[in-house]
Amino acid sequence: MDGEWTLVAVALLCGVSFFLLNWSRQKQNLKRKLQIARQKREAGLQQAEQAVSHFKAENPGLDFSPIVALPLSELSQKIREGSLQPDVVLHAYIEKALEVNSKLNCGTALLIESLKQLEDIETHKDGLLYGIPISIKDNFDYEGYDSTCGVFSKVDNPAVVDSVVVKVLKRQGAIPFIKTNIAQGLYNYECSNPIYGTTVNPNNLQKTSGGSTGGEGALIGGGGSILGLGGDLGGSIRIPASFCGICALKPTANRISSLGLNTCVKGRMSILSSVGPLARDVDSLALCMRALLNKDMFTLDPKIPPLPFKQEVYESSEHLRIGYYDNDGYMQPSPSMSRALQEAKSLLEQAGHMLVPFKPPRIYTAVHEYFLKNLLADGGATIHSHLKQGPIDPCLNYGIFPGLPRFVKKTISLVLRCNHPHIASLVDSICGVSSVADLWEQQSDIENYIHEVIEQWKKLELDVLLCPMLGPALNLTYSGRLTSGVSYTALYNLLNFPVGVIPITKVTAEDEDQLRHYKGTFGGFGDKLFIKAMQGSVGLPVAVQCVSLPWQDELCLRLMRELEALCAKNKKPNTQ
């Protein structure tokens, strides 16, 4: 008998030893990967600093500040006419990006190869983006560099080839020079991950830059880049643009190739990520679209419809029939969001456009049953398989309960159903679907919903749509607890409608005072949290969204261009 107990004790000891040894190895591996990622970034930053110092020593008296202040159209013109050289422009933006990154923590890699690209830049002189430095989101593959998505499983796994978008940019003469920070797993609208840390807002360091493309928003908003590219799955381009006070476009999915973009969840078909540009003005967005939508892209990725950019639609001056709403019925907008919408509506009406009330149908069902349940159809299992290999960002612990078994989530939903039906429904939606048949049925429901919205659109004979945009920027760490904030953006990923963001106004003291009386839609914990998240925002930018039907991206940009011009015209008398 004693011999049997001895064997049990030995087996138990071996099991515990194996567990501890394996845990220790995993911990050491994580530490090694973290060191590799941060050392790579630091080495790139140091090389970039040395390159700028060397260039300035060889060219004494150079003043970079006027260069980085130029709008894209003027910068491009000066490069083409020869009054500015591409090498001067690139070094000017590298220096500015280094400065902005030191304050905001927005970069993940300085692409030193951009300096080598200067050697044959003259061969791309006919490109629409000739000599223009451009920033790209961390998950865009660039040969020789990691596309981490903010997770440890993708560290120290450099891309073998450039993504299609990077290849096309280079052929158009653009110079990708920096990769920018993202939310962990691309699953949150706060730009934070355990590898590279948190990116903060260029207008207020206590605020988030938004996510998941928060590094782009911060870098461009801070003046460290003139044009950038990101991806949008639920607002990932638009939220950073809104929070940082810049312009952005989420095109129709598959208008621009996503081949070579890394992600933690592949194979999703109903809700697709869209590749799109971020910039300081609308003309820059349009120029980027023109540059990308060419035969090079259509050849490199034959799945992309060969639809060149329709410049005549973008430049049209005909009056538009514009639908609008100031509350989607899911999340009550902040006072500044409502005011921005009303100001934009008033400007458009004064310019002769027709504004028609519009209401998104069944928004509650659309957000919970269609968007969230499809986004997390597997209950978050796939994203969790990446997250569990390292520390999980606190924001994600609030949002999708990574690793929590389905039956536990279902139990929580049942317990909350009586007193907190909204939260119960939210928890139920992140359980995902129960079977393949359930997934197919849901995909069919989504298709029917899209047609329902289009029919409503056609019935009102709309050209475009104007609606609120989440803003101003939230205080740090609140994004993960405010899932309701994405209702205004996620709807158009579900519908696959092109949608852009343009800043309209800034938060006033009166807006801040009215925020104290905010009631919200459901009157629960989330609505009270929303007030805390928005406090201290006086002076921060507030935007609106401009929407069009699928494949009519140029019409969306047309409305944005109109609003941009009207806002500029409206500000002149006030300035004087």
Domains of the chain: 33-263+270-309 (3.90.1300.10), 321-377+433-566 (3.90.1300.10)
Structure tokens at 321: 């029939």
DSSP string, 232-263: ESSSTTHHHHHHHT-EEEEPPTTSS--TTB--
* Residue 86: closest CA among 37, 46, 119, 54: 119
**Positions marked active-site:** 137, 212, 236
Q: Is the pLDDT of residue 524 over 80?
A: no
The mean pLDDT of 509-518, rounded to a whole number, is 96
pLDDT of residue 401: 61
Q: Is the pLDDT of residue 576 over 50?
A: no
- For 69-155, list the strands marked E by DSSP: 107-110, 133-137
What band does 410 get if pLDDT is binned at 50, 70 and 90? Answer: confident
Structure tokens at 91: 């070094």
pLDDT of residue 417: 84
Structure tokens at 512: 């801040």
Q: Is the pLDDT of residue 450 over 70?
A: yes
- Of all helices (H) and strands (E), which one includes residue 360? none
Q: Which residues contact 257 (CB under 8 A, 6 or more apart)?
A: 163, 164, 165, 168, 275, 297, 300, 301, 303, 304
The conformation of residue 537, written as its DSSP 8-state character, comes to -
Structure tokens at 276: 């799109």
User: Under DSSP, is residue 531 helix (H, G, I), strand (E, B) or coil?
Assistant: helix
CB of 91 within 8 A of CB of 148? no
Query: Whole-angstrom Cα distance, residue 44 to residue 156?
Result: 15
Q: Give the tens place of pLDDT for each residue, 238-290.
A: 999 999 999 999 999 999 999 999 999 988 888 999 999 999 999 999 999 99
Q: Report the chain's terminal Cα–Cα distance, integer Å.
A: 97
pLDDT of residue 64: 97
Q: Give the tens place of pLDDT for each residue, 88-129.
A: 999 999 999 999 999 999 999 999 999 999 999 999 999 999
Count the Cβ atoms, other than its own, within 10 Å of residue 295. Answer: 10
Please tell me which residue, 55 or 421, carries the higher pLDDT value: 55
Q: Is the pLDDT of residue 574 over 90?
A: no
pLDDT of residue 353: 98
Q: Is the pLDDT of residue 441 over 70?
A: yes
267 phi/psi in degrees, rounded to 5? 100, -5
What band does 575 get if pLDDT is binned at 50, 70 and 90? Answer: very low
Q: Which residues contact 41 (CB under 8 A, 6 or more apart)?
A: 107, 108, 109, 110, 196
- For 315-457, list the strands marked E by DSSP: 321-324, 354-357
Q: Is the pLDDT of residue 433 over 70?
A: yes
* Residue 180: closest CA among 236, 118, 243: 236
The mean pLDDT of 303-323, rounded to a whole number, is 97
pLDDT of residue 420: 80
* Residue 507: closest CA among 543, 469, 473, 541: 541
pLDDT of residue 198: 97
The conformation of residue 502, written as its DSSP 8-state character, comes to E
CB of 491 within 8 A of CB of 271? no
Q: Alpha carbon 296 to chain centroid distance? A: 25
Instruction: Name the residue with tokens 């070579």.
Output: 260
pLDDT of residue 127: 98
Residue 420 region, left (φ>0) first, then alpha (ψ -120 to 50), else beta?
A: beta
- Our CA angle for 416, 419, 424, nearest 5°, is 35
Q: Is the pLDDT of residue 231 over 80?
A: yes
Q: Is the pLDDT of residue 573 over 60?
A: no
User: Under DSSP, is residue 83 helix (H, G, I), strand (E, B) or coil?
Assistant: coil
Mutual orientation of helices 553-575 and 335-350 as an angle, nearest 10°?
90
Q: Which residues make beta-bridge pairs with 227?
A: 279
Q: Is the pLDDT of residue 409 over 90?
A: no
| % of the chain exceeding 90 in pLDDT | 80
Instruction: Name the residue with tokens 């005072």.
Output: 513
Query: Whole-angstrom Cα distance, residue 283 to residue 290?
Result: 10
pLDDT of residue 399: 59
Query: Whole-angstrom Cα distance, residue 305 to residue 549?
Result: 16
Question: Regarding beta strands 321-324 and 354-357, do their DSSP bridges make them parallel or antiparallel, or are they unpaired?
Answer: parallel
133 phi/psi in degrees, rounded to 5? -70, 140
Q: Is the pLDDT of residue 25 over 70?
A: no
Structure tokens at 260: 């070579």
Query: Whole-angstrom Cα distance, residue 381 to residue 32?
Result: 26
* Residue 230: closest CA among 268, 196, 273: 273
Q: Give the tens place of pLDDT for each residue, 341-397.
A: 999 999 999 999 999 999 999 999 999 999 999 999 998 889 888 888 888 898 887
The mean pLDDT of 47-62, rounded to a whole number, is 96
Q: Is the pLDDT of residue 316 over 70?
A: yes
The mean pLDDT of 447-476, rounded to a whole number, is 98
Query: Whole-angstrom Cα distance, residue 333 to residue 337?
Result: 6
Dihedral over Cα of 375, 379, 380, 381: its sign: negative
